[in-house]
Structure 1
Amino acid sequence: METKVDLNQKIQTNKKAKLRNQFRVDLIGFTFIAPWLIGFVGFIVGPMIASLYFSFTDYDLLSAPTWVGFDNYINMFTNDDRFWQAIKVTFIFVFGSVPLKLAFALFVAMLFNTKRRGVGVYRTLYYVPSILGGSVAIAVVWRQLFGREGAINDILGIFGIQGMNWISSPDFALSTLILLVVWQFGSPMLIFLAGLKAIPTELYEAAAVDGAGPVLKFIKVTLPMLSPVIFFNLVMQTIQGFMAFTQSFLITQGGPMDKTLFYAVYLYEKAFAYFDMGYASALAWILLLICAIFTAFIFKTAKNWVHYESEGGN
């Protein structure tokens, strides 16, 4: 008969064996994710910590950084008019482009949510701008389209409307960039399309039995059932909007008169045109804070308008 001491020893031995086995399993798992983990630490966490340090320094990439404390942040909010202009332009761009892009993407997704012949080809064609829209070639083409001798003015000329150089106009330059971003609706469109296909047809049939028309079906069935997808697209597109860079940098270079000076373009200028890396690092952390605030706000308000099928509600 086993004594109490022997039983305790056996229990301890089993625990040690389980711990060793668990350690082997964990080691195998960490071995497989090691490449990603090294990249994450080396290319994301490491640079973020370095930029946080540089944001409190005067650093020009050519000499050793000098600690200045909060001077970069104080100067940013009190003495930098271009910083506030970049904030203003970026906010107008985000609040103008994101709703239009999502609305247009949802509209096209609903058109494609059918079983018509060739609909797959059209989906692919409509997705192409999202693949090419941020490239250098498309940016150059867009600049030519809206130039004084561009195709847009040629079309307007048919109706007797005198054209202009849209890119160089302080009143219309930002609108052309917003239009370019809205044109890149393919990615959210595909996500909306997947969400539409996941809505049970029984809900529409029940709504039809109750006498609901197309508009009421959209309001009472489509939007509530699609709200998680709208929420996802809204978060992603808002973050992308605040980080927009290519459109302004390649098409307008932030002009005319800083009317298209995106925040990311101003950050780039400070870092690589003026070699003020300390100030640029401070700008980067303010941008991160802005994105975090707006993302948190969307998550906070989501409980009032995002509806899930799972039990427990919103």
Structure 2
Amino acid sequence: MTVPYVINIQKYSLHDGDGIRTTIFFKGCLLNCWWCHNPESQKYTPELLFNYERCKGCKECENICPQHSIKIEKSLAKTDRKECTLCETCLDYCVNGAREIVGKQYSIKELLEEIDKDKMFYEESGGGVTLSGGEVMTQDVDYLKELLKNLKQRGYNVAIDTCGYASQKNYEVLIDYVDTFLYDIKTIDNEVHKKYMGRGNELILSNLKYLSDHNKNIYIRIPLISGVNSDEKSIEKIIKFLKDNIHVKKINLLPYHKAGTNKYEKLDLKYLGENFVTPSQREMEKYLEMFKGDGFLDVKIGG
């Protein structure tokens, strides 16, 4: 059993399923969405987050680094990420708190201890636990199965937030332990999907159909970005696919936002979605009415 890395345990979450929830964000995803607001969740291994605004160029990190991977350039610390071993020595010497290692391993026991702290909130609100990412369905399936078994034994409602790009075998192993799948659909157009997500969507649509064929509770989540999928033709294709193939309980239309784009600089990455535009409220309401007009009754903007 391989213990995956976690980037965050979010308490009192209101947008990752029903009621008040604890959401576990696992590290690692096979897609590379241009607008990803958690770029630190894409790799499966720990990473250095560096806040350039906090750096004062004091040279403490440069002087102490055992790998000599840090150099001060123009009064800012620059880290050679190929040489950095994430030993964390520099964290203890950075008086301005500019450095952070993201990605921590939790045993199942440790995760359960965190989750159990909020038990009363689940009971009072009809909430529970959501496993998210990154992409939770690409993590070690034996670890996930054991975690889910423990959650169900405690009587917790369990949701999985997934992009769908994972082996169907993993869904087959875990399906009976999950109450609700929060399932992302970005576009039905395979070429558009390849361009903006880095992979085709055949596996995603196939896994979604598998879950529907097995009568699972499915909440569809559609991020809408002007220039990518926020147009009537794209929406019509999504509606047709869902109407012809999927038993959908809820649909959330999620307007594009730029939250999290500052993380790219902290990872020394370029944000590819800088020219993306948020659909107007009028557009969002039009798409909502398109879904409702085709018989999808539980549809809302946001969530």
TM class by smaller structure:
under 0.3
Query: Normalising by structure 2, what TM-score?
Result: 0.19
- Structure (1 or 2) with the greater helix fraction: 1
- Structure (1 or 2) with the greater strand fraction: 2
Higher normalized contact order (CA 8 Å, seq sep 6+, divided by chain length): 1
Query: Normalising by structure 1, what TM-score?
Result: 0.19
